[in-house]
Structure 1
Amino acid sequence: MFSCRRVIAVAALAALPVLAPPVMSPVLAQDAPNLKKDMVGQWELATTERSKTCVVTLKGDAAPQGLKLELEPGCAAALPFTKDITSWNIKGLGDIVRLQDAAGQPVIDFTEVESGIFEGLRTNEGVYILQNLAAARSLAKSMDQMIGDWSMVRGNGQAVCGLTLTNTEAGQDNFQVFLKPKCDPAVAAFAPTQWRLDHGQMQLMSSKGETWQFEADDNAQWRRVPDSADPLIMIRGQ
């Protein structure tokens, strides 16, 4: 037998209005044209550590299977797979930048991982980066300015360690760093082996997985963050 409470519940459900199927948000439909417009211009296609680079100019003019592009003459030598690229397009839900062959098939697909930076994977080759050319060259210039000898000092100016930042690749966008002899015990125990620039910070990393982060104090020095009463500051070696 049905209880009175169950009968009331069923009746209440029956009285609910029938809902129409959900309507897809128009935002997705607008993504493709917006992204297509934003992508027109010059881009750097590169390996993650930027040891091999290629300038790609994406255009808004129609081409067979997609839109026109130009590759600088040295692209095929630096990145052999680029010889198959003849056009570009926006695919997926408007969030994939595709560099494609003459048949419209993907040579490599990119998705945005942060503003203005796209990542693409080629099977058995690895990850490639597509980045606005001006931003990529600005980063490269910043990195070039970091290479060389530095002194790590306390807030009172007392030197605690010397180190050399190099442009020798250590994988995953990192580069080798070497400590000089007679470092402060705390720095020697940290023993950084790699460095990188990331989102405006300079990072030192040890083989144990520890990371020290520094932010630019001015054009000449970097201060460890979070700040402290007795800060560590990196200045150019004398």
Structure 2
Amino acid sequence: MPVRSRIFPLAVPVLLVLGGAAVAQTAPAASRAAAVSARPDEATRQAAERLAGAFRLSSADGERRCDVTLAAQPSGGGFAVAFDAATCAAISFAAQVSAWVPDVSGSIRLLNAQGRTVAEFTEATGGSFEALKEGDGVYFLGPPSAADGPPATPEEVMGEWLLARQPGVTVCRWTLTDTPGPRGSYRVQVAPGCDELLTRFGPNAWELSGGNILVRGVADGSTIRFARQEDGTWTRIPERNRPLIMTRP
């Protein structure tokens, strides 16, 4: 019997047989698969070489963290990534990651085996990157040294602080006191003259949480979390295009 050839339109699934199993795949999907296996271009390779190195992946509260190595070796449509399997098991999306790529915006994207973005980390401060995972919270990707120091103590952070949106431009002054506040926290004493956003927030209480300073507002129970930097300052996390830096006067 003669074999009839037929040309399938792009919208019609093409049936592939892999190892005896039938798998439906559309032509656009096949194109995406081909793109995943493509080698990164020269500009992307150079960006990967600048960013490659050892990182610490951690949740915002610091309770879940693990070591990650981003390599400059092409792999899986991006570049090779290595996780500490034992410690990274606590971070649910880590098991899905098989490669990474530097984005043109300056961010770091972690990819799964199909080349889809599992998490996108945008540049923050101090060589760190941050990502929001819907339903799971904020995660950070930063230099291990930033997380390896001894945890801060209440006595270390108590006292007066200046707050700035950018270095050298003070927008508020407050004191983290040792006066007991609600639920094991301490009171915040705010000096007159804070900018409108902080006045509306109404800093009221503070505590240490997961190695970070957590400041609570009076308005609606909202909070601002600060992470310690290597230079001794504390910066708001996640930044979300609204930086806030705490420095000693």
Relative to the length of structure 1, the TM-score reads: 0.50
Distance in 1 of aligned mates of 2:137 and 2:97: 18
> Structure 1 residue aligned with 2:50, among 10, 19, 38?
38
Change (3 A) 1:135 1:151: closer
SS in structure 2 at match of 1:114: coil
- CA deviations 1:87-136 (Å, max 9, x no partner) are 11113x25221111111111111110224111112222222111111122
Pairs aligned (count): 156
> Which letter maps to 2:57?
L
Post-superposition offset of 1:65: 1.2
SS in structure 1 at match of 2:62: coil
Query: Are 1:85 and 1:99, in contact at CA under 8 Å, matched by a contact in 2?
Result: yes
- CA deviations 1:58-79 (Å, max 9, x no partner) are 1111212111111012244311
- The runs of 5 or more residues in structure 1 that have no matched partner are 1-28, 154-160, 169-175, 212-218, 228-238
**What is residue 52 of structure 1 aligned with on the other side?**
64
**What is residue 186 of structure 2 aligned with on the other side?**
178
Query: Are 1:177 and 1:193, in contact at CA under 8 Å, matched by a contact in 2?
Result: yes
> Which letter maps to 1:116?
G
Post-superposition offset of 1:46: 1.2
> Which letter maps to 1:102?
A
**What is residue 118 of structure 2 aligned with on the other side?**
107
SS in structure 1 at match of 2:57: strand
Distance in 1 of aligned mates of 2:101 and 2:79: 6
Distance in 1 of aligned mates of 2:118 and 2:95: 10
**What is residue 16 of structure 1 aligned with on the other side?**
none
Distance in 1 of aligned mates of 2:60 and 2:155: 22
Query: Are 2:107 and 2:129, in contact at CA under 8 Å, matched by a contact in 1?
Result: no
Distance in 1 of aligned mates of 2:76 and 2:247: 52
- CA deviations 1:33-92 (Å, max 9, x no partner) are 55422321111111112111121111111212111111012244311111111111113x
Query: Are 1:150 and 1:162, in contact at CA under 8 Å, matched by a contact in 2?
Result: no
Distance in 1 of aligned mates of 2:136 and 2:81: 23
Distance in 1 of aligned mates of 2:87 and 2:97: 10
Query: Are 2:214 and 2:223, in contact at CA under 8 Å, matched by a contact in 1?
Result: no
Distance in 2 of aligned mates of 1:116 and 1:150: 23
Distance in 2 of aligned mates of 1:102 and 1:132: 25
SS in structure 1 at match of 2:85: coil
Distance in 2 of aligned mates of 1:118 and 1:133: 12
**What is residue 100 of structure 2 aligned with on the other side?**
88
Alignment of 1:191-230 (within 5 A): 192-195=204-207, 207=218
Relative to the length of structure 2, the TM-score reads: 0.48
Post-superposition offset of 1:151: 8.0
Q: Which has the larger radius of gyration?
A: 1
Q: Tell me if 1:118 matches 2:129.
A: yes
Q: Tell me if 1:128 matches 2:135.
A: no
> Which letter maps to 1:178?
Y
SS in structure 2 at match of 1:81: helix
Change (3 A) 1:64 1:148: same
> Which letter maps to 2:137?
G
CA-atom RMSD, angstroms? 4.3
Query: Are 2:154 and 2:208, in contact at CA under 8 Å, matched by a contact in 1?
Result: no
